[in-house]
Chain A
Amino acid sequence: SYELTQPPSVSVSPGQTASITCSADKLGDKYASWYQQKPGQSPVLVMYQDNKRPSGIPERFSGSNSGNSATLTISGTQAVDEADYYCQAWDSTTARFGGGTKLTVL
């Protein structure tokens, strides 16, 4: 089956840039999206169609997708960005999620 691979954890200092990767075979041929989930809350779409930000998502969030990897980048990371992040893509008619990355801001 088609698997999306994310690092389990990423740490970043406040104000620095955080990059979270998502890897899969020919992922660049599909659209990647990203979701932020804070403890006890529902997931929130933070990036869709590889690099589009939904309304209300800060400009410090950006995305890219090519080859076998998609990346969610958070510039000027703030404490409020600490959360779990999941990538997602469709493999034909089946949606796949990455295992999630815990972003720690310290």
Chain B
Amino acid sequence: EVQLLESGGGLVQPGGSLRLSCTGSGFIFSTYAMSWVRQAPGKGLEWLAAISGSDGSTDYADSVKGRFTISRDNSKNTLYLQMNTLRVEDTAVYYCATDLPYQYGMDVWGQGTMVTVSS
């Protein structure tokens, strides 16, 4: 069964940092591009960042560029999101998802991990 499992969420103060992880199973992790998507409480989906499967090229939404870094370790089947200089408005459920090729869509989603930024 294809699965993604996020971890690393929690409560952090404004200005703090947090690293999220997303571990994949049931598929060849290294062959898939991956994305991070978040959803603030009661709001819609917001794409944050994507990373290719092979060469590790990355892209970011303007809202997180320079603060968040997406990376992956294919030997551990794990995707990461390093979040720095966190703001109250970064409070959300964070999802990882597999990217279908040719921008067809986002296939498999994790269960999400909650990040709360509050003093």
- Number of A positions contacting B (CB below 8 A): 27
Q: Could you tell me the distance in whole angstroms from the C-beta of A74 to the nearest C-beta in chain B?
A: 17
Asked if A88 and B105 sit within 8 Å, CB to CB, the answer is yes
Q: Report the tally of A-B residue pairs with Cβ distances under 8 A.
A: 68
Minimum Cβ distance to chain B for residue A94 (Å): 7
- When the two chains form their complex, are residues B110 and A86 in contact, meaning their CB atoms are under 8 A apart? no
Contacts of B102 in A (CB 8 A): 31, 49
Q: Is the pair B44, A95 in contact by a Cβ cutoff of 8 Å?
A: no
Across-interface contacts of A94 in B (CB, < 8 A)? 47, 59, 61
Interface size class of B (residues with CB under 8 A): 20 to 34
Assess the A93–B104 pair: CB atoms within 8 A.
Answer: no
For B109, give the chain A residue with the smallest CB separation.
Answer: A42
Q: Does A67 contact B (CB under 8 A)?
A: no
* B94: min CB distance to chain A, Å: 11
Shortest Cβ gap from B60 to chain A (Å): 8
Is B106 at the interface (CB under 8 A from chain A)? yes
Residues of B within 8 A of A1 (CB): 62
B61's closest neighbor in chain A, by CB?
A94
CA distance A47 to B104 in the complex (A): 9
**What residue of chain A has the Cβ atom nearest to residue B106's Cβ?**
A45
Cross-chain pairs A/B with CB under 8 angstroms, 26 sampled: A1-B62, A30-B103, A31-B102, A31-B103, A35-B45, A42-B110, A42-B111, A43-B45, A45-B105, A48-B105, A48-B107, A49-B105, A54-B107, A88-B45, A88-B47, A88-B106, A89-B103, A93-B59, A94-B47, A94-B59, A95-B47, A95-B50, A97-B44, A97-B47, A98-B44, A99-B44
- Chain B contacts to A: CB under 8 angstroms: 35, 37, 44-47, 50, 59, 61-62, 95, 97, 100, 102-112
In the complex, given contacts A42-B95, A43-B109, what are 12 additional A-B residue pairs having Cβ atoms less than 8 angstroms apart?
A30-B103, A33-B104, A35-B106, A42-B109, A45-B106, A45-B107, A48-B104, A48-B107, A88-B47, A94-B59, A97-B47, A99-B44
